[in-house]
């Protein structure tokens, strides 16, 4: 039986950031945490074993917390504790659901990090990822860690293995990230179904050459190597057909100086990595021009890699 000290704070406000999963050649294994955009979440300690989730933006949310991305991880967390406590979560959703930059992961990760602070940080980051994965299951039907891991650890994270879970933080240089979210819907289920179950060995070899190069480039601050390695010969050629303008965006961004990039998560957002802010802004301009010319509504972000993950606001 764990006791909450009476001096313990009873509420906390956190910023839960967006994330980019499926980092080009790192499909299903490599993700990074963004500085912006982020959800704002406030979590209050309750004296009763229950979980309440409220949207401050007027979104209707299911009553049952187990059907909610932020609620389910907290129910799992409480199940592991012999304590008569609960949580109320209030969410200001700034990351648009379905954008491909980890909207559901931010809700799940923000909830568990905030709750853990109210519990006196009794859980490790890895345990928090496990709880948060329950939220991803609510959102997409699959327990995956590609977004919740970078959201909780910050920086770039490698999911070396999902069963058993093995998360490896990868120290990276301070890259700039430009994201464009064209306002079209790509259903994650469609993005999954379109993938072939088998791939050519020669393509797989190219892919693992590139992922090895990307990890080495990140750890050694070798921007050229990062750029050369940001190539996906397996997933992108198939999935990019779901995103209008993808090839044009990619070619123009690289011509503008981006190191490289690709589909964020399962799309429709596209992200590009750059060495400096000037390039990241030039890349943003190219992205906007492509989608404005297609009269396709779009949001863009120019941001950094967030090395902290979910962070406390008050």
Q: Hey, which residues are catalytic here?
A: 136, 188
DSSP state letters, 52-78: EEEETT-----SSGGGSTTHHHHHHHH
Phi-psi region of 90 (alpha: psi -120 to 50; beta: other; left: phi over 0): beta
DSSP summary character for residue 81: -
Smaller CB distance to a second copy: residue 161 or 174? 161
Contact 183, 298 (CB under 8 A): yes
Query: Would you call 86 helix, strand, or coil by DSSP?
Result: strand
Give the whole-angstrom CA distance, residue 120 versus residue 18.
25
CB nearer to a second copy: pick between 44 and 254: 254
Indicate left, alpha or beta for 135 from its phi (over 0: left) and psi (-120 to 50: alpha).
alpha
By DSSP bridging, strand 311-312 and strand 11-20 are antiparallel
Task: Give which of 18, 92, 50, 70 is closest to 301, Cα–Cα.
Answer: 18
Computed from CA positions of residues 226, 105, 89, 186, in that sequence, does the dihedral angle turn out positive or negative?
A: positive
Q: How far is the CB of 76 from a second copy (least distance, A)?
A: 25
Cβ proximity to a second copy: between 171 and 294 the closer is 171
How many Cα neighbours within 13 Å face the side chain of 56? 12
Alpha carbons 172 and 170: distance in angstroms, whole number: 6
Closer of 8 and 220 to a second copy (Cβ)? 220
> For helices 277-293 and 246-255, what crossing angle results, to 10°?
150
For a second copy, the binding residues (CB under 8 A) are 25-30, 158-161, 166, 168, 170, 195-202, 204-216, 219-220, 225, 228-229, 234
Based on CB atoms, which residue is closest to a second copy, 76 or 146?
146
CB of residue 216 to a second copy, shortest distance in Å: 5
How many C-beta atoms lie closer than 10 Å to residue 62's C-beta?
Answer: 11
Angle, vertex CA 231, rays to CA 101 and CA 222, nearest 5: 90
Is the Cβ of residue 209 or residue 244 nearer to a second copy in the bound state?
209
Question: 203: part of which helix (H) or strand (E)?
Answer: helix 201-219
């Amino acid at each position: 039986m764990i006791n909450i000290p009476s001096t313990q704070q009873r509420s906390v406000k956190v910023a839960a950031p967006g994330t980019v999963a499926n980092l080009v050649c790192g499909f299903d294994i490599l993700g990074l945490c963004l500085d912006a955009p982020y959800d704002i979440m406030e979590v209050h300690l309750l004296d009763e074993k229950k979980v309440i989730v409220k949207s401050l933006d007027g979104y209707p949310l299911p009553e049952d917390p187990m059907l909610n991305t932020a609620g389910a991880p907290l129910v799992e967390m409480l199940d592991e504790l012999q304590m008569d406590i609960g949580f109320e979560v209030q969410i200001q959703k700034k990351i648009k659901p379905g954008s491909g930059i980890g909207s559901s992961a931010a809700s799940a990760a923000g909830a568990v990090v905030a709750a853990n602070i109210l519990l006196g940080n009794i859980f490790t980051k890895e345990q928090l990822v496990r709880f948060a994965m329950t939220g991803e299951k609510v959102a997409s039907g699959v327990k995956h860690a590609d977004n919740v891991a970078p959201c909780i650890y910050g920086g770039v994270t490698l999911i070396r293995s999902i069963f058993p879970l093995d998360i490896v933080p990868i120290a990276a240089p301070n890259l700039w990230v430009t994201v464009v979210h064209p306002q079209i819907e790509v259903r994650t289920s469609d993005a999954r179904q379109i993938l072939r179950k088998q791939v050519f060995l020669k393509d797989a070899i190219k892919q693992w050459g590139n992922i090895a190069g990307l990890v080495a480039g990140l750890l050694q601050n070798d921007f050229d190597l990062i750029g050369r390695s940001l190539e996906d010969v397996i997933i992108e050629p198939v999935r990019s057909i779901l995103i209008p303008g993808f090839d044009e965006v990619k070619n123009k961004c690289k011509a503008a100086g981006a190191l490289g990039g690709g589909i964020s998560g399962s799309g429709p957002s596209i992200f590009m990595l750059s060495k400096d802010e000037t390039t990241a802004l030039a890349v943003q301009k190219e992205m906007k021009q492509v989608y404005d010319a297609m009269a396709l509504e779009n949001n863009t972000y120019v941001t950094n890699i967030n090395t902290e993950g979910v962070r406390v606001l008050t």
